Chain A
Amino acid sequence: MNHHFPDDQYRNAINLSGTFIRRTNLNGVNLQGADLSQADCTNASFRGANFRDANLAGTILRGADLTDAVGLTREQLKSAILDKDTLLPSYLQ
C-alpha cells in the first residue's frame, strides 16, 4: 500500500529556522513548505517568493518586502511578526 505522508512532498524544502538573514535578497525563491520559524528576516526582500505551506511561526518580517509573494495566507501572517513597514502582496492588504 502506498501511504502518502504530507511531509514527503516537502522533503527538499528549505530550512532556515532560527537564522539571522536580515536585509537578504530572496526574491523569487521557492519557499514552498519551508521552515522559517523564528528566523529574523527584518528588511529582507521576498518579492515574488512562493510561501505556500511555509512555516512562519515567530518569523520576524518587520520591514520585509513581500510584494508579489504567492501562497501567503492570513493564518501564516498571524503567526509571524510584522510591522507597518512590511510590504504585503496586494491580495492580503
Chain B
Amino acid sequence: MEIFAQATSEIVRNYAVIAGGCFGLYLAWLRVTAANRQADSQLKHAELARRIHVSEVFNRTVGQLKDRKLEIRLGAILTMAQICKDYPDLSEPIIRLLTTHLMQNRLKYGDGEPPADVQAIMDILRDFKK
C-alpha cells in the first residue's frame, strides 16, 4: 500500500514538473516574442529616421545644384550618387532630377572637357542605368 502511494506521489510530482516546465517555456516564448516585436519596432523607427534624414539631405542638395561654385555643385551630385547607392529605389527620381537639371541649365563649355559636375551626372547614369 505504501509503495502504491509512493508511486502515485512520484507520478504526480513528475506531472507537476512537466507542467511547470511547459509553463516556463510558454513564459519564455512570450518574452522572446515581445522582445522581437520591440526590436522590429526599433528597426522601423531607425529606418524611418534615416529616410527623413535622406529627404532633408536630398532637399538641401537640390538647392545646391545651381550654386555658382563648381565644388558645391559637385558635392551635391556626389551626395546624390551616394543616396542612389544606399537607396536604389530613389535612383530613378534622382536620375530624372539630374537629367532635368542638365536640360534646364544648358551649360555650354565649348570643345573642352566637360566640367566635373556634368561628368559626375554621366557617372551616375553609367552606374545606375546599365
Contact = CB atoms under 8 A, between A and B. Distances in A.
B58 to A, nearest CB: 18
Given A23-B113, A26-B126, A30-B129, 8 more contacts: A14-B99, A14-B125, A15-B96, A16-B102, A17-B103, A20-B108, A23-B111, A30-B130
14 contacts: A14-B99, A15-B100, A19-B102, A20-B102, A20-B107, A20-B108, A21-B122, A23-B112, A24-B114, A24-B118, A24-B122, A28-B130, A30-B129, A30-B130
A25 interface: yes
Contacts of B96: 15
Instruction: Place the interface of chain B in its size category.
Output: 20 to 34
Interface residues of A, number: 21
B14 interface: no
A69 to B, nearest CB: 14
Interface of A: 12, 14-31, 42-43
Interface of B: 92, 95-96, 99-100, 102-103, 106-114, 118-119, 122-123, 125-126, 129-130
Contacts of B109: 20, 22
Contacts of B113: 23
Contacts of A15: 96, 99-100, 103
